[in-house]
């Protein structure tokens, strides 16, 4: 079982809805990530939090709003999404603050459908 927990596993929302994706890890990892993955495509980085501070935003539209309440939690707030935002949203964490140094631990993902 993965040590990174994501909820909900599935989410269907309309374009006017506001929803949130949640991610939790209790491994004491220093960095947490949001990735977006479309079918048959690789994961694409969206945001990186290092020591609870946003360190990377890959020019993600403002309808996606990340939040890191503490070192174990990472949220992704969703508002006014478009159907093309439908995808698998993966949360990951790493022990070190840099993804390029060690293993990324992924959660099982939240599969989002925007109607």
Partner 1 sequence: RKEVEQDPGPFNVPEGATVAFNCTYSNSASQSFFWYRQDCRKEPKLLMSVYSSGNEDGRFTAQLNRASQYISLLIRDSKLSDSATYLCVVNSGGYQKVTFGTGTKLQVIP
Query: Where on the chain is the footprint of partner 1 (CB under 8 A)?
Result: 2, 41-45, 48, 55-56, 90, 98-101, 103-104, 106-109
Q: Which is nearer to partner 1, 103 or 115 (CB)?
A: 103
Q: To the nearest whole angstrom, how small is the minimum distance from the Cβ of residue 18 to partner 1?
A: 26
In angstroms, the CA 80 to CA 94 distance is 30
* Nearest C-alpha neighbor of 72 from the set 58, 44, 97, 51: 51
How many other C-beta atoms can be found within 10 angstroms of the C-beta atom of residue 6?
A: 23
Q: Which is nearer to partner 1, 28 or 42 (CB)?
A: 42
Q: To the nearest whole angstrom, how small is the minimum distance from the Cβ of residue 50 to partner 1?
A: 8
In angstroms, the CA 112 to CA 3 distance is 21
Q: To the nearest whole angstrom, how small is the minimum distance from the Cβ of residue 7 to partner 1?
A: 14
């Amino acid at each position: 079982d993965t040590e990174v927990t994501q909820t909900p596993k599935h989410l269907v929302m309309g374009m006017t809805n506001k929803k949130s994706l949640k991610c939790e890890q209790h491994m004491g990892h220093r960095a947490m990530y949001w990735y977006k993955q479309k079918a048959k495509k690789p994961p694409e980085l969206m945001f990186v939090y290092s020591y609870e501070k946003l360190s990377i935003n890959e020019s993600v539209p403002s309808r996606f709003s990340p939040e890191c309440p503490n070192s174990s939690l990472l949220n992704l707030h969703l508002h006014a999404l478009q159907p093309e935002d439908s995808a698998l949203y993966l949360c990951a964490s790493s022990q070190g603050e840099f993804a390029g140094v060690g293993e990324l631990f992924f959660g099982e993902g939240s599969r989002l459908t925007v109607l």
